[in-house]
Structure 1
Amino acid sequence: MTITGSLDASGRELALTRTVPVPARSLWEHLSRSSLLATWYGTFTGDPATGTVQVTMTAEPGQAVAAEYTIHACDPEHVLTVSSSMGEGTWRLSLELEPATVSDADADADADADPDAMSDAVSDGRRATRIVLRHHDVPREMLAYIGPGWEWYLDRLTGVVTGGDIPGMDVWDSEYMPLSESYAALAE
């Protein structure tokens, strides 16, 4: 497995991508509906229209604790930008959904993705969607952990929406932690 993330020229923004053979509407539902968000990330409570929700990350082991997420931008089926306090700092994240072609999805196809879902997309003419996850002002000293973590979460989202494998913690050490070295090298 190779990393999909890269730092921008300033070295302050980490961007990871996936292209999946589903419409943006389906991906948006998995970002904006708590019951679908729960299938790959966690749940939220509260009314997003207020500008804040309480998010409980449920995919990782350990005691799940709710954290307040502030919603900075919400353009359905296009972009969601949120921030949350993480320890001493604040994490600001954007998920951008962009139109893509099925050939882009074929080129980006993860080994774990369902090949039938990809074939179905080609045969019925559905468009694909490119997901760009941006971690703004990423703490460079944490790239070795943050990068593999976002790879894992994006693979989980991709698996959920394509019907492919949804990686669990059982593959964290063997498949995702080996990416740490490559992510740490981005900061050099």
Structure 2
Amino acid sequence: MPQPHGGFEASPTGLRIVIEREVGFGLEEIWDAFTTPEGLEPWVGVLRGTREAGDLQFSMVEGGQEASPANLRIHRCRAPHELSFTTDSEYGAWNLGLELSRQDGVSTIRFIQDLGLTDDPSTIGPGWEYYVQRAIVSLEGGDVESVKWDDYYPALAPAYTRASE
């Protein structure tokens, strides 16, 4: 069973979930996996449009089914170190972030989601654990389908309940 790699942190707007993983890949490789259509497609979904045109859309893909697209708005981008963005979809607005750093040949991925008052972190945390693991498996050239949702939820839900803040 996977172990949690994240938890809660205070944020300027309240509380956030942060998933933190250390990997041996370079920052540019990780950045591409999280920010380009070619990098995202193998492990999470489809990115369409361009930042310059202001028409970015992202659709998650699970089991071959593409979800309704979310509009994506970038707030801050300092490639290959920091990305802050919002997705607006039928599920509401999600404020997300990616922070990458490297020291002594080890890169650290910090994937962040700011929580709203009605967000359920007991499903959100395990979800991002699952997807970050899929990203790592994709970077390794492995089969992302080997990462099973049922291994992450509900097993990791207790680590992401508001009671554990």
For the aligned pair, the TM-score class normalised by the smaller chain equals: 0.7 to 0.9
Distance 2:66 2:36 in 1: 22
TM superposition shift of 1:186: 4.7
Distance 1:48 1:24 in 2: 21
Distance 1:186 1:33 in 2: 36
TM superposition shift of 1:44: 1.0
Conserved? CA contact 1:19–1:100, under 8 Å: no
Structure 1 segments, 4+ long, off by >6 Å, are none
Distance 1:186 1:165 in 2: 35
Whether 1:90 aligns to 2:105 is: no
Larger Rg: 1
Whether 1:75 aligns to 2:73 is: no
Q: Which amino acid aligns with 2:140?
A: T
Which residue of structure 1 lines up, in the alignment, with residue 141 of structure 2? 163
TM superposition shift of 1:26: 0.5
Residue deviations 1:19-62 (CA, integer Å, cap 9, x gap): 11010011111122202210111111111223440111113565
Distance 1:140 1:151 in 2: 20
Structure 1-normalised TM-score? 0.75
Q: Which runs of 5+ in 2 are unaligned?
A: none
Structure 2-normalised TM-score? 0.85
Conserved? CA contact 1:18–1:130, under 8 Å: yes
Q: Which runs of 5+ in 1 are unaligned?
A: 102-126
**CA RMSD across the alignment:** 2.3
Whether 1:4 aligns to 2:8 is: no
**Aligned residues between the structures:** 162
Larger strand share, 1 or 2 = 2
User: Percent identity at matched positions?
Assistant: 28
Q: Which amino acid aligns with 1:3?
A: P
Tell me the secondary structure at the aligned position of residue 69 of structure 1: strand
Q: Which amino acid aligns with 1:39?
A: P
Larger helix share, 1 or 2 = 1
